[in-house]
Amino acid sequence: MTARALAEGRPRCAFIDVDDVRQFVVTGAAAPWEGKEGREQQRLGVTNACGLARNFLAMGIEVVVADVLTPETCDLYRRELPGCLIVHMTLGLPEAMRRAASRKIWLTDDEFRMLHEADAANPPDADHRIQVDALNVQNQTEKVARLWAEGR
């Protein structure tokens, strides 16, 4: 929600949700935690999202990409989109579960908890990390917009 709101506040901007890109695989899809195939599809989703982003950028259209970051995907974004600004937004588990309950559910509670714990134990090397438990979408968007305006 924050990434889309950020894009909507820019004069000429595209929004790419990497989960949507990953959903292009309609048969044989594997989640990132489902072994080698899942990790390969996760990397493919990032690579495809970056290709889309580069095409928009080549036309002078800014891009906001939303994805669940890992150390590996963060490195891929840096390699595929040099100079990109990476903001890692974090939540405590109770607030993350509360917010996730308001969206279409793609994960089991155990998968959600596992991903949350993995993120806390091995966070990506982002340019900025924002704790968003107490921030609404507008506050989050304003904070990221300020970081974007300031650059890295």
Alpha-carbon distance 135 to 54, whole Å?
31
Q: 18 with 65: CB under 8 angstroms?
A: yes
Looking at the DSSP assignment, which residues form a beta bridge with residue 77? none
pTM for the model: 0.87
Label residue 143 left, alpha or beta by phi (over 0 means left) and psi (-120 to 50 means alpha): alpha
| Tens of pLDDT, residue by residue, the chain (152 residues) | 899 999 999 999 999 999 899 999 999 999 888 999 999 999 999 999 999 999 999 999 999 999 989 999 999 999 999 999 999 988 877 776 676 666 666 667 787 788 888 888 889 999 999 988 888 989 999 999 999 999 75
Axis-axis angle for helices 71-80, 35-58 (nearest 10)? 30
